Copies of this chain bind each other. A is one copy, B any other.
Amino acid sequence: MTVTIKDVAKRANVAPSTVSRVIADSPRISEKTKQRVREAMKELGYHPNFIARSLASQMTQVIGIVMPSSADQALQNPFFPEVIRGISKAAHEKRYALQMSIGEKENDIYERVVEMLQGRRVDGVILLYSRQNDKLMKYLLKHGFPFVVIGKPHQKAEQVTHVDNDNVQAGKDAANWLIARGHERIAFVGGNPQYLVTVDRQTGYAAALQEAGLPYRPEYVVHAEFLQEGGQEAMKELLSLPEPPTGLVVADDLMALGILKTLDEMGLGVPEDVSIVSFNNTLLAEMSRPPLTSVDIGIFQLGYEAAKSLIEKITNLNEPIKRIIIPHRLVERGSCARR
């Protein structure tokens, strides 16, 4: 029924191994027989069976994508489709397929990924998150499975190839943008502090304040999970302080969207009353009112480089550990005003 390498071999009057070599485009086969074999393949409608190939070669040509737990609505963040586009591009260039693992709870994810790898379904994985004390990462390191992290690993960063931004600098740039426009009361609204991006950007924010001689006020730092209960309240508190901030550095565009809403409900206008700089420069930044000044972090590239690195690692196990920093740049739109 399904046409195999043997059928092709017969048709072309060669041995199966020859056909195999033609598929691999081995240089040790004469052009003439290559032609003949290829013709036979066409005529029979041959398609190589990846499963069989994988079993024989011990390589699947599949890479696994590990998403953060879907319990939080993180998936709704436009960040993900965009990284995946980047991953997909690089993967396709090297003829790799993509397998995906989504789980509700952290432990779900762990188990599925272990199964993926131990079951030899994938050659390696890309982690689209990086959380504190990650059981999965430890497992991967221990067993020597090829993997790459997007973001900065909490532990053992020197042992883990990762693709990241200079989030400290990015946080600094964002705050400086506001400082340069005369703002002196600048708050930081971050996401889950379990994720290192948040921490890094906050660090940069704090550094910028310090360099500018502005005081760091703890009450100006809020970690609001906007999608959860309580997020709005935290924001409202912040803006109801005796000395409310005039500028906000916000962890990402999706959060900024939520904040715009909260501000609106409080009767505060952007940028007249409050200026905002956010991160990621996704579609949302363009579509929001006002459009958001946002730090572009090269999401597509993050994915692209991660996949490229992973594939290098897979094909060459001695590939050194790498840290790749994707440049960022602030994109000005309408959410910041001079003070």
Contact = CB atoms under 8 A, between A and B. Distances in A.
Contact of A99 (B99, B261, B287): B99
A214 interface: no
A73 B282 CA distance: 11
B119 A47 contact: yes
Interface stretch (A74-82, A148-156, A185-193, A244-252): A74-82
Contacts of A75: 81-82, 84-85
Interface in A74-130: 75-76, 78, 80-82, 84-85, 88, 92, 97-103, 108, 112, 114-116, 118-121
Given A62-B99, A70-B85, A99-B62, A257 B287 contact: yes
A49 B120 contact: yes
Nearest to A74: B81
30 contacts: A47-B114, A47-B118, A47-B119, A48-B119, A49-B119, A49-B120, A50-B119, A51-B54, A51-B55, A51-B119, A51-B121, A52-B55, A75-B81, A75-B85, A76-B81, A76-B282, A78-B78, A80-B81, A81-B81, A85-B102, A92-B112, A97-B121, A98-B101, A98-B102, A100-B100, A226-B287, A254-B287, A257-B284, A261-B291, A289-B289
Contacts of A76: 78, 81-82, 282-283
Total copies of the chain: 2
Main secondary structure of the interface of A (DSSP, over half): helix
Contacts of A271: none
A219 interface: no
Interface residues of A, number: 54
A118 B50 CA distance: 9
Nearest to A95: B115
A227 interface: yes
A60 interface: yes
A261 B287 contact: yes
Contacts of A97: 99, 101, 116, 121
A80 to B, nearest CB: 7
A115 B73 contact: no
Interface in A193-236: 226-227
Contacts of A47: 114-115, 118-119
Contacts of A50: 119-121
A288 interface: yes
